Structure 1
Amino acid sequence: MKKLVYLLAILLAFSSCSEYQKALKSEDIKTKFEVGTQMYDAGKWSKANRIFAQIVPNYRGKPQAEKLMYMYARSFYEMKSYIEAGYQLGRFENAYPNSEKVEEIAFLAAKSYYQVSPVYSKEQQETVEALEKLQLFVNKYPNSELLPEANKLIKELDYKLERKAFEIAKQYNRVAYFESSDYEAAIKAFDNFLADFPGTSFKEQAMFYRLDSAYKLGINSIDTKKEARLNTAINYYDSFKKFFPNSELLKDADKMNEEMTTAVQQFNTKS
């Protein structure tokens, strides 16, 4: 019995393959549509896509066009061809704004951009585009059942941009080497980061590294600029301690503050 079932499965597979090959070579667009739909329903996305690509121009303006374009666009997403999927799904959304599938398609179009968003360490143009698309979806479909997932994706993308900006600012701090312009650039980078991402999970580290940059700038400054820069750094210390009184980094921050306070006192004594 098992052998019979196995043989039937093989025969069905060969039959399906043969039917598919015939449909590819056929000039009958109706046959292509039917076989392509069978492939799509069976989850054979690549085969379905290949057939659909042959007949899309022939169905423009016809009643079956909406179904065909839905399956064609969706097959790109299922094939993980996300760039093409974003384009084709967007075309469907524009062409059939009243379709019962348009909300689903709009979400998948936006999600296609999310899928090509790179790791935070790389250029984030795709991430910005994905955020824009997902935000448009949220604004357009505020009551969608897909809203929780859309917000989850937005949160992930926001974090990438946040991490990217933090690492750039941190890099300024790392590469600075007793050059005032280097430390000033680091301080500005952290100031911008904290302004752009007020609720960031990196706030503690950002405020500490800003203090560290200001501390190094002040300690290594010439006398005419030293006092003012040290006082600025001490203000950064006060802010850090206020926001994070139990920080594990506070011990290092306290050492900086002690050195800066002593330096300011000595500077005042001299003057």
Structure 2
Amino acid sequence: MKKNVLRLFVVGLIWLASCSPLTRVLKNPDINEKYQFALEFYENEDYYRAGLVFEDLLPNMAGKAEAENVQFYYSYCQYYQNQFDLAAYYFKQFYDTYRRSDFAEEALYMHAYSNYKATPDYNLDQSNTTKAIETMQDFMNRFPKSSYFEKAGSIINELRGLLEKKAYSIAKQYHRLRRYQAAVIACDNFQKDFPDSELKEEVSFIKMEAQYEYAKASIYTMKIERYEETMEYYYYLVDRYPNSEYMKMAESYFKNTQRELYDLNP
């Protein structure tokens, strides 16, 4: 008896689901009516249901005037559901398919902007950040007179700041972990990639300090060469930042390096 009741309950749930507005829309064979329902869901900001209906329409819209709108709105449905990787993909697909569309410029911008929204915190892998910069720069190159141009430039600067912060944290982390050779390389990469950074003075000091510790821990046959590189990094710091807040510590490392070289070259 209980099993029969349970079976009837399950059947009832299935029947109710089949009668839901969304299910009826998806089963509707009239494409035009289905399209109007999708627009209604979209205008009511029900992006989940709108996305399902637009997705159902996509393969059936080839050659129809509404095909362009379906793909464009479907891309936005992904975006508004925070599915930024999917949104970026579909906006780019739209742009590649409808380059003469009135929506083409917006679609390419939203492709880049979706990549921007998908970027992680600075302490995580920054592959998406690099991709966001590249796609935003591509947009600016293609649409230099766009109303989105200034915003795109601002986003690129923000993302470059994120990469700068990541590079700085890597150098600091290597130094903190006493992986001095890696710290020197990370500082060198930072100086090449971010020559105008406000952190370049500190990074120059970290590089010199890490090189000194690296030389100090080296085998005898490598010490002279590595201490001499420490001297080079010291002179670089003094030449560019004669009033550096790190000068007192830098001079201490300089004197220690001189003594070490003197002892190694009696």
Contact (CA 8 Å) 1:103, 1:141: kept in 2 or not?
A: yes
Of 105, 120, 123, the residue aligned with 2:122 is 120
- Residue identity opposite 1:83 in structure 2: D
| Aligned residue identity for 2:244 | S
> Aligned pair in 2 of structure 1 residues 224, 29: CA closer, same or farther (>3 Å)?
closer
Q: CA deviation at 1:91?
A: 1.3
- Is 2:259 the counterpart of 1:243? no
Q: Equivalents in 2 of 1:76, 1:98: separation in Å?
A: 23
Alignment of 1:43-122 (within 5 A): 43-122=45-124
Pair 1:229–1:72, CA change in 2 (3 A): closer
Aligned mates of 1:121, 1:230 — CA distance in 2: 32
> Residues 68-100 of structure 1, C-alpha deviation per residue, up to 9 Å, x if partnerless?
221112221122111111111111111110011
Distance 1:85 1:218 in 2: 50
Deviations 1:23-53 (A, max 9, x none): 3442222111112112212222222112212
Q: How does 1:1-271 map to 2 (within 5 A)?
A: 22-176=24-178, 182-221=179-218, 225-265=222-262, 271=266
CA–CA separation in structure 2 for the residues paired with 1:77 and 1:117: 14
Secondary structure of the corresponding residue to residue 63 of structure 2: coil
* Contact persistence 1:19–1:35 (CA under 8 A): no
Mapped partners of 1:220, 1:87: distance in 2: 50
Aligned residue type for 1:202: L
Deviations 1:215-268 (A, max 9, x none): 223445566544443332122122213323333322322222232234445655
Structure 2 equivalent of residue 7 of structure 1: none
Structure 1: 5+ residue runs without aligned partners? 1-17, 177-181
Q: Which amino acid aligns with 1:139?
A: N
- In structure 2, relative to structure 1, the CA distance for the partners of 1:264 and 1:63 (3 Å cut) is same
Computed over aligned residues only, the root mean square deviation of the Cα atoms, in angstroms, reads: 2.5
Percent identity reads 32
Supply the AA of the counterpart residue of 2:101.
S
Aligned residues: 248
Compared CA separation, residues 166 and 25, structure 1 to 2 (3 A): same
5+ residue gaps, structure 2: 1-19
Q: Distance in 1 between matches of 2:65 and 2:89?
A: 22
What's the CA shift string for 1:192-212, capped at 9, x where partnerless?
321232223331222111110
Checking the alignment, whether the CA contact within 8 Å between 1:36 and 1:48 is kept in structure 2 is: yes
TM-score when normalising by structure 2: 0.82
Distance 1:234 1:53, change over 3 A: same
For 1:251, the aligned partner's letter is: K
Cα distance in 1 between the residues matched to 2:30 and 2:222: 83
**How far apart, in 1, do the equivalents of 2:77 and 2:217 lie?**
61
Distance 2:90 2:222 in 1: 60
AA aligned opposite 1:74: Y
Q: Deviations over 1:161-182 (max 9, x none)?
A: 2232333333332333xxxxx5
Please report how far the alpha carbon of residue 191 of structure 1 lies from its aligned counterpart in structure 2 after TM superposition. 1.9
Quote the residue 1:5 is aligned against: none
Give the distance between the partners of 1:255 and 1:159, measured in 2 at CA: 32
Contact 1:219/1:260 (8 A) holds in 2: no
TM-score (norm 1): 0.81
The one-letter code matched in structure 2 to 1:112 is S
